[in-house]
Amino acid sequence: MKRSCAALATFTLILALGAQTAWAAPARLLSKATLDRFLKDFPAMMAELEALGDEVSGPFEDIGGDEGMADPSQAFSAETIKAGLAAALADARVKAILVRYGWNDQFVTVYTAILSGYTYIMFEEIYKAYPMAEYKQYMDQMLASVHPDDIALVRANLDRIKAALEMDD
């Protein structure tokens, strides 16, 4: 699950060069209580998934797509994240673990919002260092799919999110 900023930057460079479909105004998906619960449960859930082997935990690590995607610009789009989660959740053992922690279909919504907010924040950092029009365009497109309050909540809890999702800089 560990992703370095360098790897994320590589993926995001590819993403920035493509277009993402703009949506209507996004709904707010995260609350402090929901985020706190997710961050408390996620490491334990992942430990259980990893104990079942790569076949079960692997899809969670590949949620952002891969370098061989037909359309790399969609690697971290909300649609790709949701599709990756749907594939991971197709396994009954995964569903059983989520149910044991009291999660239902809301898990996909919460995880997608967190990853989308995190990706937006990483793009902000990349844009600060490399102010290219493509990065700005991608960030503007992302704002059409991520509520600003969700981004703010992710930003306020960035260190906790990185720790829970085992992301490193």
The per-residue pLDDT for range 93-142, each reduced to its tens digit, is 888 999 999 998 789 889 989 988 998 999 899 999 999 998 888 888 88
The pLDDT of 20-42, averaged and rounded, is: 83
In 10 A of CB 98, how many CB atoms?
19
Q: What's the pLDDT at 24?
A: 57
Q: What's the pLDDT at 130?
A: 92
Dihedral angle over CA of 22, 145, 117, 64, nearest 10: -60
Q: Is the pTM of this model over 0.85?
A: no
CA separation for the pair 155, 147 (Å, rounded):
12
Nearest CA among 100, 111, 88 for reference residue 39: 111
Nearest CA among 160, 149, 156 for reference residue 31: 149
